[in-house]
Amino acid sequence: MNHDSYPDSYIRGILNTVKSIAMVGISPKDNRPSYFAFKYLLERGYRMIPVNPGQAGKDILGQKVYAKLSDIPEPVDMIDVFRAAPYALPIVEEALTLKPRPAVIWMQLGVRNDEAAAKAEAGGMKVVMNRCPKIEYGRLSSEIGWIGVNSRTISSKKAQLLGKGVQRMSLNRQTMTGGATSAAQRAQEDGASAAAESGQKK
Amino acid sequence: MVRDRKGYREGFMTERTPGFSTLAIHAGAQPDPTTGARATPIYQTTSFVFDDVDHAASLFGLQTFGNIYTRIGNPTNAVLEERVAALEGGTAGLAVASGHAAQVLVFHALMRPGDEFVAAKKLYGGSINQFNHAFKSFGWNVVWADPDDISSFERAVSPKTKAIFIESIANPGGVITDIEAVSNVARRAGVPLIVDNTLATPYLWKPIDHGADIVVHSLTKFLGGHGNSIGGLIVDAGTFNWSREGRYPMLSEPRPEYHGIVLHETFGNFAFAIACRVLSLRDMGPCLSPFNAFLVLTGVETLPLRMQRHCDNAKAVAEWLTIHPKVAWVSYPGLPGDRYHTLAKRYCPKGAGAVLTFGLKGGYDAGVKLVSNVKLFSHLANIGDTRSLIIHPASTTHRQLSDAQKVQAGAGPDVVRLSVGLEDKEDIIADLEQGLDGS
């Protein structure tokens, strides 16, 4: 997998298939990006499982918090890594011990660890790095268009309402590639590889 | 299936980026999910219902995407925002009431009282006035630099500088700014580069490809293209690193307006557009009417066709003027002898725009007579209409500048400005001919 740029079909395939997501490193503070992403995905029907050792036993948005992945008593389809790049490796190693093995390791914006990715892929897991599932869902469902963001998709098909609430769209939307943001892509890669490098050096 | 991590480009074959004309029609738009309406509906509504209290709270807290109130966002405007962002190659757009409003909001998101910004002195007169006068009320101080001398930009930068502002093709005289050279200065200074791309439009020139971090537009002009709607738009390139401590608190500090969220962490590479929307536009208010957005969108669909015709017509007019006995000089970068011709070929090879200036041998009086004599050209203050337009900048758009500033801005007393329209070029030229005959 080329981790510099993911085809929409790859991302849509992942987000349309996974049902349960364990978010490692979620913050209980309701102004943090991890909290926002957790809430957004919860509202769109994903089983969201918070993982944060400091909050173990408490609730975030009504969901019980676990100290670590191996404490979770149900199958996890996707692990969403909201921690700095160096932590991705031990998370992948723990994921590889889970039964059933999660299908996807997803690392957040600014998180890129090629070594961890290679290990995960060698273990049969799909990997996404330096992306936010909330933003990707928003892009592919067209919700993100409401705030003027370039979804990088175009379509002549009606987008589908999710059926839960007035302003929620489904991922079942047929799209083709839209306008590119090459400069932004380059800037992000520069930032992510700098982060990855400093991560590897640790 | 064996996958080589380095070499396997799964998506490459299936993911072609569509061309400009396709994006001009389709980016941001889709058939309406409820009705199937194909054209973008005009959501002429002030407000939008919520599911419940929690949904409302989520929206107000920026936790979910959606519509609340047309001052902050509107689905018709959103199509236009995504359309122009996609055409410019940006990550997000924000539609506002006017080009001037776009500038106020951009600077509001960047500047604190006492800050400075560097601006090219060859600009639309309205921008010069805004920077020299209105911005002073906020303590935002402009430092002028010469786009024909890049070292003047370096000298103008100080520890207080927060941004650099230029026009790609500058109004009125068809100045072409070397965006890459200015971008290097901005990069070294650690400040974003703002480019007003109104005269060029992304059809001719995409400043983001050359280092622009923020692009602004007056939708009133070529993007809307039909002289019927005032509007402005901000495009976020998604390229600037906002996290340098303290320099851009709207983006890097916990915001009290939103319970302490840090915008650049929450919104990644479209954080600047979000800041302009939820901090600047929300609290200052210059929003775009959805009806105007619809009209501009309709215009944008034909942008490639119109801009090419504008440029072809302008070039023909410029060439004709050059050989006219009453014309002293013509400034149009599309002309081979023009001082900006080399830059134009490099940055906007499809065409040098539709706006040109010229001076008559009879000076100020001859210019005034010509403006009165034309019958096809409309004498008014605008550019970028289907109709050909004429004006005498020194007594109108650049009137409030000093004589020296006027000359510097390319609006001296003898200067006549044309915005060449889409009429048959023979008719455009015939109108100028009969107009000049009488002057």
Provide CB contacts within 8 A for B280, sequence distance 6+: B104, B105, B106, B108, B109, B250
Return mean pLDDT, chain B. 93
Tell me what pLDDT residue B197 has.
98
- In total, how many domains does chain B have? 2
What CATH code is carried by the domain that includes residue B338?
Answer: 3.90.1150.10
Same domain for B430 and B314: yes
Average of per-residue pLDDT across B183-197: 97
Considering only residues 194 to 223 of chain B, which have any Cβ-Cβ distance to chain A shorter than 8 Å?
208-209
What CATH code is carried by the domain that includes residue B132?
Answer: 3.40.640.10
Distance from CA of B221 to the nearest CA of A (A): 21
A117 touches B: beta carbon within 8 Å: yes
* Segments forming the whole domain that contains residue B187: 50-300
Q: Per-residue pLDDT for A201 more than 70?
A: no
What CATH code is carried by the domain that includes residue A175?
Answer: 3.40.50.720
Note whether residue A2 is domain-resident: no
CB contact under 8 A, B91 and A151: no
Share of chain B above pLDDT 90, in %: 83
B11 touches A: beta carbon within 8 Å: yes
Share of chain B above pLDDT 70, in %: 96
Is the ipTM higher than 0.90? The answer is yes
Distance from CA of residue B41 to its chain's centroid? 25
Give the residue from B270, B300, B330 where a domain finishes.
Answer: B300
Tell me what pLDDT residue A195 has.
60
Same domain for B280 and B429: no
Average of per-residue pLDDT across A43-69: 96
CB B296 within 8 A of CB B96: no
Tell me what pLDDT residue B137 has.
96
Which of B195, B216, B222 has its CA nearest to residue B303? B222
Considering only residues 82 to 111 of chain A, which have any Cβ-Cβ distance to chain B shorter than 8 Å?
109
Q: Per-residue pLDDT for B8 more than 50?
A: no
Same domain for B262 and B203: yes
DSSP A84: -
Spatial separation of the C-alpha atoms in residues B204 and B207, rounded to whole Å:
10
- In total, how many domains does chain A have? 1
DSSP 3-state assignment of B200? coil
Question: Tokens representing B307?
Answer: 């801009």
**Which helix (H) or strand (E) element contains residue B343?**
helix B341-347
Q: Which residues of A touch B257 (CB under 8 A)?
A: none
Considering only residues 69 to 88 of chain B, which have any Cβ-Cβ distance to chain A shorter than 8 Å?
73, 75, 77-79, 81-82, 85-87
Cβ neighbourhood burial of B341 (10 Å; 0-12, 13-18, 19+): middle
Same domain for B328 and B275: no
Note whether residue B212 is domain-resident: yes
CB contact under 8 A, A9 and B11: yes
Chain B residue closest in CA terms to A41: B64
- Residue A100, preceding peptide bond in cis (omega within 30° of 0): yes
Give the residue from B251, B280, B300 where a domain finishes.
Answer: B300
Tell me what pLDDT residue B406 has.
84
Same domain for B405 and B381: yes
Note whether residue A97 is domain-resident: yes
Average of per-residue pLDDT across B26-36: 95
Q: What is the pLDDT of residues B313-372, one digit of tens each?
A: 999 999 999 999 999 999 999 999 999 999 999 999 999 999 999 999 998 889 889 999
Indicate the pairing of strand B193-196 with strand B161-167: parallel
Give the residue from B269, B300, B331 where a domain finishes.
Answer: B300
A62 touches B: beta carbon within 8 Å: no
CB contact under 8 A, B64 and A43: yes
Same domain for B275 and B221: yes
Average of per-residue pLDDT across A109-135: 96
CB contact under 8 A, A169 and B33: yes
Q: What is the pLDDT of residues B66-101, one digit of tens each?
A: 999 999 999 999 999 999 999 999 999 999 999 999
Spatial separation of the C-alpha atoms in residues B331 and B358, rounded to whole Å:
6
CB contact under 8 A, A180 and B73: no
What does the angle CA B289 – CA B292 – CA B296 come to, to the nearest 5 degrees? 140
Q: Per-residue pLDDT for A161 more than 70?
A: yes
pTM of the predicted model, to two decimals?
A: 0.94
Which of B55, B64, B280, B297 has its CA nearest to residue A147? B64
Tell me what pLDDT residue B245 has.
65
The better pLDDT of the pair B179, B414 is held by B179
Model confidence band, residue A92 (pLDDT cutoffs 50, 70, 90): very high
Note whether residue B336 is domain-resident: yes
Indicate the pairing of strand B355-360 with strand B415-419: antiparallel
Same domain for B288 and B323: no
Same domain for B206 and B69: yes
Share of chain A above pLDDT 90, in %: 81
CB contact under 8 A, A157 and B30: yes
Instruction: Average the pLDDT over each of A19-28, A65-74, A174-183 and give the range with the smallest value.
Output: A174-183
DSSP B5: T
CB A98 within 8 A of CB A120: no
Spatial separation of the C-alpha atoms in residues B360 and B368, rounded to whole Å:
10
Same domain for B216 and B133: yes
Note whether residue A82 is domain-resident: yes
B2 touches A: beta carbon within 8 Å: no
Of B29, B64, B85, the CB nearest to A148: B85
Q: What is the pLDDT of residues B363-375, one digit of tens each?
A: 888 988 999 999 9
Provide CB contacts within 8 A for B236, sequence distance 6+: B85, B90, B91, B92, B93, B94, B214, B269, B270, B271, B272, B273, B276
Spatial separation of the C-alpha atoms in residues B168 and A100, rounded to whole Å:
57
Q: Which residues of A touch B49 (CB under 8 A)?
A: 166
DSSP state letters, B84-118:
HHHHHT-SEEEEES-HHHHHHHHHHHH--TT-EEE
Torsion angles phi and psi, residue A152, rounded to 5: 60, 30
DSSP 3-state assignment of B47? strand
CB contact under 8 A, B92 and A147: yes
Average of per-residue pLDDT across B176-195: 97
Same domain for B331 and B232: no
* Segments forming the whole domain that contains residue A50: 8-201
Note whether residue A95 is domain-resident: yes
Q: How many CB pairs under 8 A join A and B?
A: 193
Spatial separation of the C-alpha atoms in residues A5 and B136, rounded to whole Å:
44
Tell me what pLDDT residue B11 has.
38
Q: Which residues of B touch A148 (CB under 8 A)?
A: 73, 77-78, 81-82, 85, 92-95, 273, 277
Q: What is the pLDDT of residues A165-187, one digit of tens each?
A: 888 999 999 999 998 998 888 88
Model confidence band, residue B238 (pLDDT cutoffs 50, 70, 90): very high
Considering only residues 233 to 272 of chain B, which have any Cβ-Cβ distance to chain A shorter than 8 Å?
237-241, 254, 258-261, 265-266, 268-270
Tell me what pLDDT residue B398 has.
80
